[in-house]
Structures are given as C-alpha cells and as structure tokens.
Amino acid sequence: MANHYHNSGKTDRLRSETSELALYGGKPVRERLLPYGRHSVTPEDIQAVVDVLQGDWLTTGPRIAEFEETVAECVGARYAVAFSSGTAALHAAVFAADLGPGDEAITSPLTFAATANCVLYQGATLVFADIEGDTLTLDPDQVNACLTQKTRAILPVDYAGHPAELDALLELAERHGLIVIEDACHALGAIYKGRRVGSISHMTAYSFHPVKHITTGEGGMITTNNAHLAERLRRFRTHGIDYTPSERANSPWYYQMIDLGFNYRITDIGCALGTSQLQRLSTNLACRREIVRRYNDAFTNLDAVIAPTERADVESAWHIYPIQVDAYYLTTDRAEIFRALRAENIGVNVHYIPVHLHPYYQKRFGYRGGEYPVAEKIYEQLITLPIFSGMSEQDVEDVIKAVNKVMGYYAY
C-alpha cells in the first residue's frame, strides 16, 4: 500500500459509483472469460487447408515456398525461410549467425524465454541489457555498455509490436562487426521510420502462434536480405542436409549433411493457412489500432493506469496492449488488480516475467534480482489487456468498464 495521504472522501465517492467487485461476490462485468488474445479462422482459411489435405503434399511441398514468398513480399525482404515455430526460427538465426562457445549475444530481459534460450542452445554466452522506460525495448546505451571483444550479436525484441531503436543498434553492430537478429514475433506489419520491420535487420524472426496476427497453428519465419544466411537457414531446418538441383537430376537419391541441423520443418497445411490469413493482415492491424485508440481515450484520466507508448516515428503492430499499474494511486498492488480483473472475466495476462528471474537462469547464472532495475520495476506493474482482431465493440467496452470498475474501487 502506498504511503501518502489517504483521501477517504474521494475513495468513498468512487466506490459508491462502482458496483461491488466480482472478486468479493459482486456481479462480474462479463458472463464469459474474454481472453487476452485469440485466433480467427474464416471459411476461406478452412478451404485452403482442405485443398492441401486433398492434394499430393502435406509437407515439404509447394505451399511452403508460396508462403515464404508472400511473407517476404509483405515485409520487403529478399528472402524468407519458414520454420515449425518462432522458437525454431530464432534458434536457426543464431545458428546461421555462427554463434557458439566463447561468443556473446546481448538481448532484453523483458521477453519470452525463447529469445534468450536460443543463444544457449548454441553454447554461446547470454548477456542481458536493460530496457528503455517508455517503449520497453532494448536501451542502445545499455547495450553499448555491455559490449566486449566476445560480443557477436544483438537480439532486440520488438516488445508488444513496437520496434526497438533499430538505427542505433545497427550502428553499434556496424561499428563492432556484429549481427542483429531482431525478435519481431510481436511485430508483423510494424513500421520503423518509414521502413517495414523485416527488411531492416540482418535477420528478423516472426512467430505464427495462434495469438499472433496470423497463424499457421504453430510456425515461425526468418526474413533476411542475405543469400548466404538464407541458405544456412534452409539447411538447418532439415537436419543440415543439402543437395543441388544438378545432383538431384543425376542421382535423385543423393544428399549430403553439411551442418548439424534439426527437423524444424513446417507443413504445407500450416503454410496454406498462413498464406490465407496473411491476406487479412492489414485489416487485422487496423482493428488492433482502433482498439488501442479506444483504450487510450478511455484511460487518459485514470491516474493509476500508464498506457503503452508509441513513438511518433513508428507504427506499432500492437500484438499486446500492456498497461502499467501505478500503485501510488491505489490502495492495493498489481497482483490484486490482476485477480480482480480476472474475476470480472477479463482475461488479463502479464508479459513477461524477466528471463533472468526464472529459476533456471538464477540457478545457472546466479541472478538474484536487481541486475536490470528498469525491466524489473516495469514487470512489477505490467498487466496485458485483451486485444485481438476478433473483438467486438461490446468486448472492448467490457474491458474499459472492468478497468474503470476495478481502478475506481481501489483508488485513493
């Protein structure tokens, strides 16, 4: 509980204007839970999948190349290589960058664990750098402070769909001979200073999990403008095996394992779904941006809610809408606010527990908390509100009503 003057008159008035919280036995705002994210499947999507099921190829067929070409064109990249998941794509990118034991890679602590784990998969050393307080993306000054002679890569995370400060990070990379692997799993369709995310960094990773902008069921993608990297990525997803068209023509059975790769292939089924869904990306983005506008307008006068930032020179893809709960204006903490919103059947979430605070990282690397104060402080305040293209106007109103109801109840 915050230690400042408690205006009991204001609190009583606000509480009288709100019904009893569902957490304490009141009627919830909604009868059914509204998730923070949800996929959308149309009859056209279903038909695209049925066409594959009725065809000759379920995997390693023509729909994969079709999907890759469509994504590459969408983001303005020369090459796109599809994988079985976003994690697989990130792992492949770290492999293609040739990271290994003795090399260091820098990333954000405020991300899903896969961003960090992919560095460890290759035996490289993981280094975290703290984030900027407004965009919650990597702070270039903090990255610069972490650079050593062993640094080989920077992995910025486009948190919530807002591009990281790519120009500054790429300038650092050029100056020190590094590679930038951008985790844009939140940011399909985002724009950074007039350029499409996916065409800017050396490699850019996407996820097509069902809560993302488009889905392949599970799936991921790396985009790049580098032909050599694209070749390594393609080999890596198929056990490191390679063959050339001429070899296949002379000996169709012949192949060579060049690298130690994995089975990270995606199916034609998933790619057919993804290609169909990609046609609605612009509509999806427009829906999300309209929801953001309504949220921002509704929460402007709520002292306890800090809305997410979108800088003037970017267009966020708004994968999630993370608010920060300012406990100074409340009689309770984030955990209670979270429980209260859930009780109102608003499926809030938290993105993310900082990676270095997970037990595995604490045990292996000795993190105890306090190492990255900006990320840790913001994590303690974060709550993700529902946002997805299938939300109705009533869904959005329910979220706004529930936030006002809960914040009003706990207001000083």
The b/e string for 52-89 (b: 16+ C-beta within 10 A; e otherwise) is beeeeeeeebebbeebbeebbebbebebbbbbbbbbbb
pLDDT (tens digit, 9 = 90+) per residue, 17-73?
457 999 999 999 999 999 999 999 999 999 999 999 999 999 999 999 999 999 999
pLDDT (tens digit, 9 = 90+) per residue, 326-357?
999 999 999 999 999 999 999 999 999 999 99
Q: 38, 88, 73, 67: which is closest to 267 by C-alpha? A: 67
Distances (CA, A) of 251 to 61, 185, 245, 288, 313: 20, 40, 10, 51, 54
Please report the pLDDT score of residue 200 as a whole number.
98
> Are 126 and 372 in contact, with CB atoms under 8 Å apart?
no
Comparing 3-12, 173-182, 326-335, 391-400, the range with the smallest average pLDDT is 3-12
49/78 Cα distance (integer angstroms)? 27
Does residue 13 register a pLDDT over 90?
no
Q: How much is the mean pLDDT over the chain?
A: 94
* Mean pLDDT value across residues 96-115: 98
CATH class (in words) of the domain with range 43-278 = alpha beta
Count of Cβ atoms closer than 10 Å to residue 332 Cβ? 16
406/412 Cα distance (integer angstroms)? 12
Tokens of 49: 């999948």
Rg of the chain in Å (alpha carbons)? 23
- Catalytic status, residue 27: no
The domain spans of the chain are 8-38+281-410, 43-278
Locate all alpha helices (DSSP H) within 221-264, ordered by sequence: 227-236, 245-250
Query: 253: pLDDT confidence band, cut at 50, 70 and 90?
Result: confident
Does residue 399 register a pLDDT over 90?
yes
pLDDT (tens digit, 9 = 90+) per residue, 72-94?
999 999 999 999 999 999 999 99
Which residues have CB under 8 Å from 1's CB, separation 6+?
Answer: 331, 332, 333
196 sits in which H/E element: strand 195-196
Q: What percent of the chain has pLDDT over 70?
A: 94
Count of Cβ atoms closer than 10 Å to residue 27 Cβ? 11
Q: Phi/psi at 141 (nearest 5 deg)?
A: -65, -40
- What is the topology classification, in CATH, of domain 8-38+281-410? Aspartate Aminotransferase, domain 1 (3.90.1150)
Pick 13 or 61 by higher pLDDT.
Answer: 61
Q: Which of 10, 193, 212, 405 is catalytic?
A: 212
Does residue 312 register a pLDDT over 60?
yes
Same fold, 8-38+281-410 and 43-278: no
275/264 Cα distance (integer angstroms)? 19
CB half-sphere exposure, 133, CA atoms < 13 A: 4
Please report the pLDDT score of residue 244 as a whole number.
65
Does residue 246 register a pLDDT over 80?
no
